[in-house]
């Protein structure tokens, strides 16, 4: 989408270049490029935005930039058919809000079993309306849909691994400075990457938990869990049990600080678990979740084994100059539920919308302070309380078997189920009933006392290195 003009017009076009809005008409890099390219009669008048990572956060950011015709959008994805290791559970509101066709949803979960350390089962789902469900997706399907949509709006896809980013020293103060992205491009039919580089004006880091963009911008570290999942193909008869059913197991055997899950996919189940405090033992916890699911998945064939880090909290810095992090790269996964897909898509969209607005039709580039005042402030206002509440719940209910027994018992309450589903499915705090809230507080204390009395103590483990690493 380049504006092609005759070389005669280059001089006058340069005086209307976008950069003249920033520095009062001084000679800009854009104007210099225009002069040097005059012999080819091609003049690129647009700012270039690079979105690094084509998961939900990157695809949803790229879509918004691509819709702004005065911005050139490049979407880097190291593997266009990437199957992100993931349970793939998404809230109902995501389908409507991001216009996702129901065909990308493998299963509609309407029933859940929550299973305590002593195998007490609580059935959840009675409070759901007939049209309400948790969507279960395969990420290779959903990510591709979101990415293809961004490309259809005009984002230029590059199948390439971003290896390094040169950040100019004056990038926070000089809007003329540009970032240089180094990448290995993987062209069709050639497995070896071709080293290339590209200069861009703004970067969205949507490259997940091992983000290179975060490293380049010195965003700081976060604690992370390691999550492990096996995709297991089970017989059709056994699959019938999981038709609309997901299971969550808690106990020190399946995880000392998280939960294990069995989530249904279109012809198999995803069986997994995660931990922060004892990551080297993840395979032992994985065996335990398989054992707990027992007969229900017996005879199943493991068709894929996958593992990946899950961030525990925000990065210390999410914006530096004109580089902004979204999704897992920023650290937007909730504790307790380990949910990150919706927050990735939402943060990608929010960051891009804020930046496009600040760019005012492609006329100028935003400053760090402007991005912080808009995208970061709006995101934190909308979701900060959710992260805090779920962090507290994880600390209270996942820390030992007594608390886990109490958690499962509490979930027997229809009120708890209603409030939990409403806030998960719609990402809004629903109008709670104060009387029920007081009753719930009493029940919580009662369940905790009872849970501590009956539960078997957690197995001890010694992992000082991992534990000390927690920030």
Ligand X SMILES: Cc1cc2nc3c(=O)[nH]c(=O)nc-3n(C[C@H](O)[C@H](O)[C@H](O)COP(=O)(O)OP(=O)(O)OC[C@H]3O[C@@H](n4cnc5c(N)ncnc54)[C@H](O)[C@@H]3O)c2cc1C
**Burial call 173-204: b when 16+ CB within 10 Å, e when fewer:** eebbbbbebbbeebeeeeeebeeeebebbbbb
Q: Which is nearer to ligand X, 31 or 229 (CB)?
A: 229
Q: Which is nearer to ligand X, 45 or 282 (CB)?
A: 282
Shortest approach of ligand X to residue 377 CB, angstroms? 20
User: In the complex, which residues of this chain contact ligand X (CB under 6 A)?
Assistant: 52-58, 76-79, 82, 84-89, 161-162, 206-208, 212, 227, 229, 272, 308, 310, 327-329, 333, 338-342, 344
Q: Which is nearer to ligand X, 163 or 412 (CB)?
A: 163
Shortest approach of ligand X to residue 348 CB, angstroms? 7
- In this chain, which residue has its C-beta nearest to ligand X? 340
| Chain centroid to CA 311 | 9
Q: Which is nearer to ligand X, 282 or 419 (CB)?
A: 282
| Chain centroid to CA 183 | 23
Strand duo 71-77 + 156-166: pairing: parallel
Q: Which is nearer to ligand X, 58 or 402 (CB)?
A: 58
Q: Which is nearer to ligand X, 57 or 400 (CB)?
A: 57
Q: Which residue has the tokens 């916890």?
A: 285
Shortest approach of ligand X to residue 135 CB, angstroms? 10
Q: Which is nearer to ligand X, 84 or 335 (CB)?
A: 84
Q: Which two tokens stand for residue 51?
A: 């979105």
- Distance separating alpha carbons of residues 368 and 108, to the nearest angstrom: 41
- By the 8 A CB rule, do 397 and 256 touch? no
CA dihedral of residues 138, 140, 146, 151 (deg, nearest 10) = -170
- By the 8 A CB rule, do 390 and 259 touch? no
Shortest approach of ligand X to residue 434 CB, angstroms? 30
The answer for residues whose C-beta is within 8 angstroms of residue 201's C-beta and 6 or more apart is: 47, 48, 49, 178, 179, 322, 365
- By the 8 A CB rule, do 81 and 141 touch? no
Shortest approach of ligand X to residue 175 CB, angstroms? 25
Residue (of 350, 328, 249) closest to 84 by Cα position: 328
Shortest approach of ligand X to residue 465 CB, angstroms? 22
Q: Which is nearer to ligand X, 178 or 212 (CB)?
A: 212
Q: Which is nearer to ligand X, 2 or 79 (CB)?
A: 79
Shortest approach of ligand X to residue 268 CB, angstroms? 15
- Distance separating alpha carbons of residues 426 and 67, to the nearest angstrom: 26
Residue (of 284, 316, 312, 276) closest to 465 by Cα position: 276
Q: Which is nearer to ligand X, 414 or 428 (CB)?
A: 428
The answer for residues whose C-beta is within 8 angstroms of residue 255's C-beta and 6 or more apart is: 273, 274, 275, 285, 398
Shortest approach of ligand X to residue 342 CB, angstroms? 6
Helix-then-strand count for the chain, H and E: 16, 20
Q: Which two tokens stand for residue 202?
A: 């703004």
Strand duo 319-320 + 194-200: pairing: unpaired
- Distance separating alpha carbons of residues 416 and 407, to the nearest angstrom: 10
- By the 8 A CB rule, do 254 and 294 touch? no
Shortest approach of ligand X to residue 187 CB, angstroms? 15
Q: Which is nearer to ligand X, 227 or 365 (CB)?
A: 227
Shortest approach of ligand X to residue 275 CB, angstroms? 12
- By the 8 A CB rule, do 289 and 249 touch? yes
Shortest approach of ligand X to residue 421 CB, angstroms? 15
Q: Which is nearer to ligand X, 125 or 327 (CB)?
A: 327
Shortest approach of ligand X to residue 293 CB, angstroms? 16
- By the 8 A CB rule, do 124 and 248 touch? no
Residue (of 454, 411, 461, 121) closest to 285 by Cα position: 461
């Amino acid at each position: 989408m380049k504006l092609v003009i005759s070389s005669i017009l280059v001089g006058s076009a340069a005086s209307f270049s976008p950069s003249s809005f920033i520095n009062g008409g001084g000679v800009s890099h854009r104007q210099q490029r225009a002069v040097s390219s005059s012999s080819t009669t091609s003049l690129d008048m647009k700012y270039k935005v690079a979105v690094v990572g084509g998961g939900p956060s990157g695809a949803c950011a790229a879509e918004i930039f691509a819709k702004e015709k005065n911005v050139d959008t490049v979407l880097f994805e190291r593997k266009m058919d990437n199957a992100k290791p993931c349970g793939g559970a998404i809230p109902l509101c995501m389908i409507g809000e991001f216009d996702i066709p129901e065909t990308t949803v493998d299963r509609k979960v309407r029933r859940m079993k929550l299973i305590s350390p002593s195998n007490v089962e609580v059935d959840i789902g009675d409070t759901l309306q007939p049209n309400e469900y948790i969507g279960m997706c395969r990420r290779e399907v959903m990510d591709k849909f979101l990415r293809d949509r961004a490309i259809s709006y005009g984002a230029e896809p590059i199948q390439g691994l971003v290896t390094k980013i040169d950040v100019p020293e004056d990038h926070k103060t000089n809007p003329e400075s540009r970032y240089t992205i180094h990448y290995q491009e993987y062209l069709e039919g050639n497995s070896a990457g071709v080293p290339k580089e590209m200069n861009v004006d703004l970067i969205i880091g949507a490259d997940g938990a091992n983000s290179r963009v975060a490293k380049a911008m010195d965003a700081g570290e976060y604690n992370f869990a390691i999550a492990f999942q096996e995709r297991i193909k089970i017989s059709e008869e056994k699959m019938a049990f999981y038709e609309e059913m997901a299971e969550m197991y808690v106990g020190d055997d399946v995880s000392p600080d998280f939960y294990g899950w069995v989530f249904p996919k279109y012809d198999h189940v995803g069986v997994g678990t995660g931990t922060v405090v004892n990551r080297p033992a993840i395979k032992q916890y994985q065996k335990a979740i398989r054992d707990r699911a027992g007969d229900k998945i017996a005879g199943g064939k493991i068709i894929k084994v996958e593992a990946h880090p899950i961030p525990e909290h925000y990065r210390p810095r999410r914006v530096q100059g004109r580089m902004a992090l979204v999704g897992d790269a920023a650290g937007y996964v909730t504790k307790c539920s380990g949910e990150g897909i919706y927050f990735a898509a939402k943060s990608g969209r929010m960051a891009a919308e804020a930046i496009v607005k600040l760019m005012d039709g492609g006329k100028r580039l935003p400053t760090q302070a402007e991005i912080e005042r808009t995208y970061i402030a709006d995101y934190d206002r909308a979701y900060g309380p959710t992260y805090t509440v779920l962090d507290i719940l994880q600390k209270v209910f996942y820390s030992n078997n007594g608390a886990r027994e109490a958690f499962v018992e509490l979930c027997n309450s229809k009120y708890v189920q209603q409030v939990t589903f409403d806030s998960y499915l719609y990402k809004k705090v629903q109008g709670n009933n104060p009387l029920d809230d007081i009753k719930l507080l009493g029940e919580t204390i009662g369940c905790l006392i009872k849970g501590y009395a009956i539960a078997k103590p957690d197995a001890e483990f010694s992992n000082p290195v991992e534990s000390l690493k927690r920030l």
